């Protein structure tokens, strides 16, 4: 079975092209994904992307976490998905309508001399669940903001995220009773005007990853609703795997300074690492 290894800001994915033919039966996908995502006994990945045809849009994005669970959406994975579609000639449009479990997502391809240099993704409307809610963890109060980008995210702000125990703290927030289905957890530090550092504990990976696209989008929303950023200007996020630029479309800011964010746009790279073939007995 052919596969392509790709990454977006260090978030690495195995891409399986099922656009013309289903290669892995749906019932077998969780077991297949868990096996090939192992870094010592498989190919290794932060998730597996199945590229499929859609009855409604240009293509369907089917994403699995490395533990074999389904994920509603993955921002870094979407950029890789869009680049693959364009580069392989499956879709020759610069704006692609993609079906996901979270709804319609529209990535936009940017070209230089025929090469895809970056991808801008319309991530849709965020849903702010709560802002700066005080939560006790290990006897200490922390303020958590929860934003849903089609998948759940908890955002915490710190003066220095290099000192945060991402694995320990991330696991406790991820499994907190506030999030019955679990959540991705992000630790954010402001380092300049509309400039932030971020570290991430990903649900499904159950550990720290180099970046999380939907998480950075959710964190951008959190910076604005917590008055840490200017919503009228682009925001730059520095993750361990690279940088992403986030833009927000604001439709309402009333006299009480309540902000309604209509859309979130994420721009960043997507890179092909290598291709190969794998044989897996299920």
Distance (Å, rounded) from C-alpha 55 to C-alpha 143? 43
SS3 assignment, position 251? strand
Q: How many residues does the chain have?
A: 282
Closest by Cα among 24, 38, 119 to 74:
119
Give 21-44 as a DSSP string: S--S-GGGHHHHHHHHT-TTTS--
Distance (Å, rounded) from C-alpha 81 to C-alpha 182? 25
Catalytic residue among 6, 33, 74, 166: 74
Distance (Å, rounded) from C-alpha 198 to C-alpha 209? 11
Give 96-118 as a DSSP string: --EEETTEEEEEEEEEETTEEEE
Other CB atoms within a 10 A radius of the CB of residue 236 amount to 18
Burial class of 141 by CB neighbour count within 10 A (0 to 12, 13 to 18, 19+):
exposed
Is 74 marked active-site? yes
Catalytic residue among 96, 149, 212, 216: 212
Is 80 marked active-site? no
The Cα-based distances of 164 to 7, 9, 157 in angstroms read: 25, 21, 11
SS3 assignment, position 252? strand
Distance (Å, rounded) from C-alpha 3 to C-alpha 74? 19
Give me the active site residues, please: 74, 212
């Amino acid at each position: 079975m052919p596969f392509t290894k790709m990454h977006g800001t260090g978030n690495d994915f195995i891409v399986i092209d099922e656009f013309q033919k289903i290669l892995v039966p749906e019932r077998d996908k969780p077991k297949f994904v868990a096996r090939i995502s192992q870094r010592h006994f498989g190919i290794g990945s932060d998730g597996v992307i199945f590229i499929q045809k859609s009855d409604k849009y240009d293509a369907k994005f089917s994403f699995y976490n490395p533990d074999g669970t389904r994920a509603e959406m993955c921002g870094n994975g979407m950029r890789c998905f869009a680049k693959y579609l364009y580069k392989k000639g499956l879709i020759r449009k610069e704006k692609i309508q993609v079906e996901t479990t979270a709804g319609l997502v529209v990535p936009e391809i940017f070209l230089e001399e025929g090469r895809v240099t970056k991808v801008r993704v319309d991530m849709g409307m965020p849903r702010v669940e709560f802002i700066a809610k005080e939560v006790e963890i290990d006897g200490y109060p922390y303020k958590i903001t929860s934003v849903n980008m089609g998948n759940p995210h908890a955002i915490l702000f710190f003066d220095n995220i290099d000192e945060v125990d991402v694995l320990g703290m991330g696991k406790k927030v991820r499994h907190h009773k506030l999030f019955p289905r679990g959540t991705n957890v992000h630790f954010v530090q402001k380092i300049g005007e509309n400039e932030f550092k971020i570290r991430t504990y990903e649900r499904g990976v159950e550990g720290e990853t180099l970046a999380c696209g939907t998480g950075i989008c959710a964190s951008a929303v959190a910076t604005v609703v917590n008055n840490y950023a200017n919503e009228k200007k682009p925001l730059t996020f520095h993750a361990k795997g690279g940088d992403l630029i986030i833009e927000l479309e604001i439709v309402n800011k009333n006299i009480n300074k309540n902000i309604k964010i209509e859309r979130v746009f994420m721009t960043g790279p997507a890179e092909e690492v290598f291709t190969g073939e794998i044989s897996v007995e299920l």
